[in-house]
Structure 1
Amino acid sequence: MRDLAPRLLEWQAAGARCALASVVAVRGSAPLRPGAALCVHEDGTALGSVSGGCVEGSVYDLAREVLDSGEARCVSFGYADDDAFAVGLMCGGEIDVLVQAVDDATARVLGAAALAAAARRPVVVARVLPGPDAGAGCVAVWRDGHLGSTGDPALDLAVLADARRMLDRDGTVVRTYQAGASRPHDAGVSRSREAGVPSGSRAPRVLFEAWVPSPRLLVFGANAHAAAVSRIGALLGYHVTVCDARATFTTPERFPDADEVVVDWPHRYLAATETDRRTVVCVMTHDPKFDVPVLAEALGRPLAYVGALGSRRVQARRREDLVAAGVSPDALARLHAPLGLDLGGSTPEETAVSFAAELIAVRSGRTAHPLSLLDGPIHPTATKERPGAGEARCAAGTDPVRGRTTAALRAH
């Protein structure tokens, strides 16, 4: 929803009615993860996706119905073995989708969240899921404030506490609270289904979406390989900075995909720059006076990935220089050099693809082997500790969507 929020707010500000469909939870294999969203304008225009195409038409139809009725819905879609033409996910998974009309109060909350995200301030958007006695509340929460309400003052306290615990991590999760969570002495205590609390018909459930700043990709070196890496980094959702001390080559025109283009010595810029465990550093300079100091600085920090371009001979000399600069063996072992996977590429674009493939594998802890040679799940398995895994599902039942009633479609 984060990427679609600005356009959705434009529609709402222009006086148009619009609906928002969001993936609440995923079970098994599914094309998109929790947080994926589809916005539908009253004139029929649609933006975004919740399934990559499998059930897109049915969610679109449901959004049009919600626009007419004004009633939020939470619907489950899955594959129906008994009906090859049933509405469902051909990949065999199941998704829960929340569909709601965007009213003025929700738009104000989303607007505040969008402004915070644009300023790279962590923010969590919490929305109450439909159910008996449930409101349609929406809250945006940041470190020193919030906007909106769930409609229950005591539940607000619990939601604010849980939301602030999510401000340092990205992801989407649903929490089910005790039916008595509105009692003051229970306020602020989250009770999820995994904690052993049954999802009773009157237990309030809240969808949390953490909009943390995009992870940073710091590219050092202003050359064709850096331009290709900045392009693919932007595609992967990174906030890309290109830095080089040579002003002639370090210009926004040469790096149109970068969010920032900085003229400075790489090691000096990195020393003055805040990083975290999601930050990625790529050194493309091929010059010891540039790359050794910046790599020594990077390897002294807890970063997600540190890689460097160069031949085997360049890497061997570079490692000697880093040891001489005081880099420990453990820190040196974290260096991906030459960066990338063995794909056989040679052009800057092919090198960037090789780097991106290795980065994704490192980030997800996967083997990078061909999927055709492996068994087991294609997508990462969600756990309670991993944000992005929905903790609650829509209740079982049957409901027609545009005249279709199947085992693949379950709704409140």
Structure 2
Amino acid sequence: MLNIADTLHRWCREARPFALATVVGVRGSAPLPVGTSVAVDEDGDAVGSISGGCVEGQVYELCRQVLRDRGAPQRAWFGYSDDDAFAIGLTCGGELDVFVQRVDPTAQPHLVDALDEVVQGRPAAVAQVVDGPERLLGLTLSVLGADQVVCGAVDDGPANRAVADQARALLRAGRTARVDLGGTGDGCPEHLSVLVHVAATRPRMLVFGAVDFAAALSQAGRFLGYRVTVCDARPVFATAARFPYADEIVVDWPHRYLERTSVDERTAVCVLTHDAKFDIPLLRLALDLPVAYVGAMGSRRTHEERLRLLREEDVAEDRLARLRSPIGLDLGARTPEETAVSITAEIIAEANRGTGQPLTWITGPIHRSPRLTSYR
């Protein structure tokens, strides 16, 4: 849904009904992820894509039908056809589960508020019931902003609280996902499947050490959508001129800055100083924070010495196991630019449960569900 937020925002403000077709499940090498949507208004105008072209025509007609019938939401399943290469299906070999519903913005006015947050670049989540009792199908609630204010409702009972809690959790994690609720464990008596659409602020990449490798890494991080901070205690090196792609330059001792800044489950911490007086207090703190990635640059000898010093600081073994050191994947990287690719490749692999191996060497699905960090 939020991939077409600008258009949906305009349609909602105009109180214009539309049909929304959303990918709620994928299997195999589906072209686009869960949460991607197509919308069609009553004039037949369409926006978005869910398959890169394979099944768009069929989805468009289904949207038009749902708009005409004004009935209950519908489900459609699209997969690969071995018998007829021109049949409606996904030539990539994947399968899509698509949920199609009619949306009347006047009946769910909180959608205007949620979409307004998204187009303004502020965090928001929209929880959409895609499976469960018929009376609840297609209903939504929204969670807005850093204060996570809940607007709208999917039910007037305990299901609403359970859905809101899931939406808040996924907004904090910055991840769109489908979750199943039901039973006494989560306080929701009826089984529900809820797709939580999330638009979050950019994840953070904290780069410690104002070195040439940091300049290349800040550029790569920004390209990947991170909000990049470069921190170094030496003002002569930590300058905007040396790091034009960084969103923020901080002159401070690394551990002192990390103590006072905000991080979350998507934050990547990259320690490039390979100087013990900076590294040890910084890593001792970083390894105890709920962040997605902690990596440190240095040779294998430096790594072993670093582990020894961290153990002397009573850092537990389960915390040390989180440390990616030497930092990056084995790409044979030598230049700062190649090293930046190596580091960001490892960050991507960690977030998406990738192996880091060539795809030609492995079997099974190309795409995996992203990792939702659960840190204790």
Superposed pair shares fold, TM > 0.5: yes
The residue aligned with 1:197 is none
Unaligned runs of 5+ in 1: 179-184, 193-203, 388-412
Q: Secondary structure at the match of 2:221?
A: helix
The residue aligned with 2:178 is 173
How many Å separate the matches in 2 of 1:222 and 1:254?
Answer: 8
> How many residues were matched structurally?
361
Amino acid at match of 1:345: A
CA RMSD across the alignment = 4.0
Q: Percent identity?
A: 47
Amino acid at match of 1:2: L
Q: Secondary structure at the match of 1:293?
A: helix
TM-score (ref. length: structure 2): 0.75
Q: Does 1:9 align with 2:9?
A: yes
Structure 1 residues 372 and 297, CA gap change in structure 2 (3 angstroms): same
Structure 1 residues 321 and 146, CA gap change in structure 2 (3 angstroms): closer
Please state how far the C-alpha of 1:271 moved relative to its aligned partner.
Answer: 1.1
Please state how far the C-alpha of 1:38 moved relative to its aligned partner.
Answer: 3.6
The residue aligned with 1:146 is 150
Structure 1 residues 34 and 146, CA gap change in structure 2 (3 angstroms): same
Q: Does 1:81 align with 2:79?
A: no
Residue pair 1:167, 1:210 contacting (<8 A) in 2 also: no
TM-score (ref. length: structure 1): 0.70
Q: Mapping of 1:361-376 within 5 angstroms?
A: 361-376=349-364
Amino acid at match of 2:177: T
The structure, 1 or 2, with the larger RCO (C-alpha pairs under 8 Å, 6+ apart) is 1
Residue pair 1:159, 1:188 contacting (<8 A) in 2 also: no
The residue aligned with 1:226 is 214
Residue pair 2:327, 2:343 contacting (<8 A) in 1 also: yes
The residue aligned with 1:21 is 21
Please state how far the C-alpha of 1:281 moved relative to its aligned partner.
Answer: 0.7
Q: Mapping of 1:34-45 within 5 angstroms?
A: 34-39=34-39, 44=45
How many Å separate the matches in 2 of 1:116 and 1:326?
Answer: 44
Structure 1 residues 137 and 328, CA gap change in structure 2 (3 angstroms): closer
Please state how far the C-alpha of 1:29 moved relative to its aligned partner.
Answer: 3.8
Show CA shifts across 1:120-162 (max 9, x none): 66x5422345996667533214676422244x534xx413323
Please state how far the C-alpha of 1:188 moved relative to its aligned partner.
Answer: 5.5
Q: Secondary structure at the match of 1:167?
A: helix
Q: Mapping of 1:38-187 within 5 angstroms?
A: 38-39=38-39, 44=45, 46-47=47-48, 49-60=49-60, 62-63=62-63, 73-100=74-101, 103-105=104-106, 108-114=109-115, 123-129=124-130, 136-141=138-143, 145-150=149-154, 153-154=156-157, 157-169=158-170, 170-173=175-178, 175=180
The residue aligned with 2:190 is 191
Q: Secondary structure at the match of 1:217?
A: strand
Amino acid at match of 1:266: P
Amino acid at match of 1:273: T
How many Å separate the matches in 2 of 1:255 and 1:98?
Answer: 45
How many Å separate the matches in 2 of 1:352 and 1:371?
Answer: 21
Residue pair 1:5, 1:110 contacting (<8 A) in 2 also: no
Please state how far the C-alpha of 1:351 moved relative to its aligned partner.
Answer: 1.6
Structure 1 residues 135 and 366, CA gap change in structure 2 (3 angstroms): closer
Structure 1 residues 29 and 10, CA gap change in structure 2 (3 angstroms): same
Amino acid at match of 2:85: A
Amino acid at match of 1:126: A
Structure 1 residues 97 and 333, CA gap change in structure 2 (3 angstroms): closer
Q: Secondary structure at the match of 1:153?
A: coil
The residue aligned with 1:31 is 31
Residue pair 1:175, 1:191 contacting (<8 A) in 2 also: no
How many Å separate the matches in 1 of 2:65 and 2:222?
Answer: 36
Structure 1 residues 3 and 356, CA gap change in structure 2 (3 angstroms): same
Q: Does 1:337 align with 2:325?
A: yes
The residue aligned with 1:347 is 335
Amino acid at match of 1:95: L
How many Å separate the matches in 1 of 2:282 and 2:220?
Answer: 22
